Amino acid sequence: METADVIIIGSGQGGVPLAADFAKQGLMVVLFERDLLGGSCINYGCTPSKAFLAAAHAAGRVRQAEDLGIYAQVEVDFPAVMERVRLIRARWHQGVQKRLHEAGVRVVYAQAYFTGERTVTGNNVTVQAPLVVINTGTTAATPKIPGLAGTPYLTNRNFFDLQKLPPRLLVIGGGYISLELGQGLARLGSETQIIVRGERVLDHEEPDVSETLAEALKRDGIQIHFHANTQKVTYNDNLFTLELDNGQQLQGEALLIATGRHPNTSALNVAATGVELNEQGYIKVDEQFRTTCENIYAIADVAQQPAFTHVSWEDYRRLKAILHGENRTRNDRVLAYAIYTEPQVGRAGMTIADAHKKGINARCVTLPMSDIARAIEWGHDLGFYRMVIDTETDLILGATLVGYEAAEIVHVFVSLMEAGATWQLLEKSVHIHPTYGEALPSLARGFVE
C-alpha cells in the first residue's frame, strides 16, 4: 500500500483545481479517474453542448429572420458541425491533462473504491491519505421502459458522437438537457418530438417560463406531447418506435433520453470508510462538505449541490478556504444559472414563490420583452424580465430573465445581490440605449408607487 497527502476521486471542475493547487504546494496528490479527465462539463456537458448550440442557434436565427425581411436557405454540414464540437472538446481535455501534469499530480486511470478508512484502490493501486475529496459527479438516469435496454439510444454522454443528422428525433424528458439538445437538432434539420410526463416543460421553473419555452419550441417546428408516458420502446431496422400511454405511436431514427441524473456512488464502496449516503444515493455532507468519515469531503453534484460547473468550481474555492480555517459554507453565494435554449433563461436567487415559502414579505414586477426597444428592433420579443424584492428591506432577492442572451444579462443581478443592493440602486442607474440591459432600470421602476 502506498501513502499520499491527498486523494481526490474524480476530475470534475472542483477536483482538478484542488488537485493542482495541493500539488503545487508540494503535497503528494493522487487523483483517481475512471473515465475522461475533466468530468462531464468538458467531455459531454457544457463545452460540447454550447459548441453544438452555437451552430444550431446560428441556423435557427437565419431561418427565423423572415420578420426582418431576410429570406435565406440554410444548408447544414452536420458532420462538420460535430467535428468542430469534438475538436473543441479535445482541446479542453488536453488542457486538463497538461494542467495536472505540470502541477505534478499523479493520475490513476481506474474506477476507485474504498478498501479501508481513507484508503482507496483502483487498477491494482492502493493509496492511503489523511485527506480524501470525492468529486465523482452524476450520470444520466435511464428510465425502466420495456424494450429500451440494448437499443442505441442517446444521452448527453454519447450525443456528441453523432456522425449523421437523424431525419427524425424523439426526446423523452422535459428538462433543460432535452430542450437544449432537442431544439438544437431541430434547428439543424431534424424533425423533433418531445415527450413530457407532466403538463409543462421545465417544471422546476415558473409556469410562464415553461409557456414561453413551449412557444419557442413550437416556432421551431417541435411537437411536444404533454401528459404522456412511454410504455414501450421498439428498435428495428434503424428505427425507434415509441408506444405512449395515450395510444399514440411515434417513430424516429434517433431517441434521446434526458430524464434526470443519478449520483456516481454505487461503485465507491463508501461503507468501507464510514461514509454514508442519503436515500437517493448522494453523499451526505454537512454545511462545510464534511462526510460522516473524518477528513473525507465531498463536493459538487455527488454531494447534491446544484449540478452546474460554476457551482462545482466554487465548491473547490469553498473547500480550499475551509481547509485553511475560513468560515465558508456550501450555500454562501448567490445561486445563478442559465438554460441555453433560444430564448435563453437566466435565473438568480429566489422566485416569488421561493420567497413566500421562506415567509418573506416579497413582491415582484415583470416587464415583457415586447416592451423593450432593443428586443423589438432585433426581433427578439419573446420572453420577459422579472425581479423579486423584499418589501421590508428593499433588497433584491432574485430575478428571472427569459430572452435573448439572458444568461449574460442576469449577472447584473448576481453582482447586485452579492453586494446587498436594493432595487432603488438599479432604478436610479442610467443604462445605455438601446440595449437589453437598458430594460433593467425600467424593470426596477415598476416598484415605484
Using a 10 angstrom Cβ sphere, with 0-12 exposed, 13-18 middle and 19 or more buried, the burial of residue 87 is exposed
Q: What distances in angstroms separate CA 182 from CA 29, 40, 41, 204, 224, one per listed residue?
A: 41, 19, 19, 18, 11
Helix 78-103 to helix 46-63 angle (10° resolution) is: 150
Tell me whether residue 174 is annotated as binding: yes
Q: What distances in angstroms separate CA 119 from CA 17, 130, 136, 292, 298, one per listed residue?
A: 22, 9, 16, 15, 15
In contact, 418 and 398? CB cutoff 8 Å: no
**Residue tagged active-site, from 262, 310, 411, 433:** 433
Strand partners, 85: none
Tell me whether residue 180 is annotated as binding: yes
Tell me whether residue 284 is annotated as binding: no
In contact, 39 and 62? CB cutoff 8 Å: no
Tell me whether residue 44 is annotated as binding: no
Strand partners, 233: 242
Q: If DSSP codes are grouped into helix, strand and coil, which group holds residue 30? A: strand
Tell me whether residue 301 is annotated as binding: yes
Q: Is 101 a catalytic residue?
A: no
Backbone angles phi, psi at 271, to 5 degrees: -60, -30
Tell me whether residue 178 is annotated as binding: yes
Tell me whether residue 260 is annotated as binding: yes
**Whose CA is closest to 65, among 378, 421, 328, 436?**
378
Binding residues for FAD: 50, 301
Binding residues for NAD(+): 173-180, 260
Active-site residue set: 433
